[in-house]
Amino acid sequence: MNRALIIDPEPTERDRLLGLVVEVWPETRASAAGSLAAAYGNLAHCMPGLLITDIYLPDGCGFELLETVGRDYPDSPRLVVTRHDDPPHILATLQRDVDGYLIKGQASQKTRDLLTALARGEPALSPQVTRAVLRHFSQNNGQKSISEIDPDAQAEDLGLTPREIEVLRLLAHGADRHQVGEALAIKPSTVAGYIKSLYLKLDVSTRAEMTIAAVKLGLVHLED
């Protein structure tokens, strides 16, 4: 990660995130600003290797910035930082294929852990965000209710193995690949292989999409 750009209208939160990014990536040249115009000014000079933006900016919407960077710099990780943890905000964000969703006000150590997960190539999604997605689709599952879906039949139709379903359920409830490996007594590299297989069989490309697909198919349920 050579460069990072943080866009947040709250100076205290900007400084906090700036410090955490430098902790996780010590060699990174990180900069921060508080508006959409300032963000585009930075992009005109150099696209960062990492973008973190709030949704609501004083002169526009962070979604515009996410979409611009996603289109022009598809290899650059993009994260949202916000105080909103409700399903409408989360789902609207995840639909833009972001790499993480950070909640303002959570402990700095939790945010640092999520950024460290991103550095390992994992999505920076907290269990809190994952639970909100699961709860939403458990309550709004479309044509069939969860109780009417036969998970075994769904799994068989998709060619999922029992081990893949175990991995899927752990991932959907917020575990990273290292935690999945510990729970199932397998190597993280083996978990990575299962994740690739799940992406292929569920026809998804992100962990958020994988979780949503699994809930819709009745393979994963909300467990409080």
Q: Which of 148, 155, 188, 157 is nearest to 171 (CA)?
A: 188
pLDDT tier at 46, thresholds 50, 70, 90? confident
Class of domain 142-216: mainly alpha
pLDDT above 50 (res 173) = yes
And the tokens for 123? 């999505």
And the tokens for 7? 């866009």
pLDDT above 50 (res 25) = yes
- The pLDDT, as a whole number, for residue 139 is 63
Range scoring the smallest mean pLDDT among 112-116, 178-182, 208-212: 208-212
Interatomic CA distance for residues 145 and 158, integer angstroms: 20
Q: Which residue has the higher pLDDT, 212 or 40?
A: 40
pLDDT tier at 37, thresholds 50, 70, 90? very high
Interatomic CA distance for residues 212 and 137, integer angstroms: 7
Which numeric CATH code is attached to 3-125?
3.40.50.2300
| Among 37-51, 81-95, 141-155, 177-191, the range of highest mean pLDDT | 177-191
Average pLDDT, whole number, for the chain? 83
pLDDT tier at 221, thresholds 50, 70, 90? low
pLDDT above 60 (res 44) = yes
Contacts of 214 (CB under 8 A, 6+ apart): 168, 169, 172, 202, 220
Other beta carbons within 10 Å of 8: 25
Burial 154-188, CB ≥16 within 10 A → b, else e: bbeebebeeebbebbbbbbbbbbbeebbeebebeb
Hey, which residues does 82 pair with through a beta bridge? 103
pLDDT above 60 (res 147) = no
Query: Where are the chain's structural domains?
Result: 3-125, 142-216
- The pLDDT, as a whole number, for residue 145 is 43
- Quick one: CA dihedral 171, 173, 179, 180, positive or negative? negative
- The pLDDT, as a whole number, for residue 153 is 76
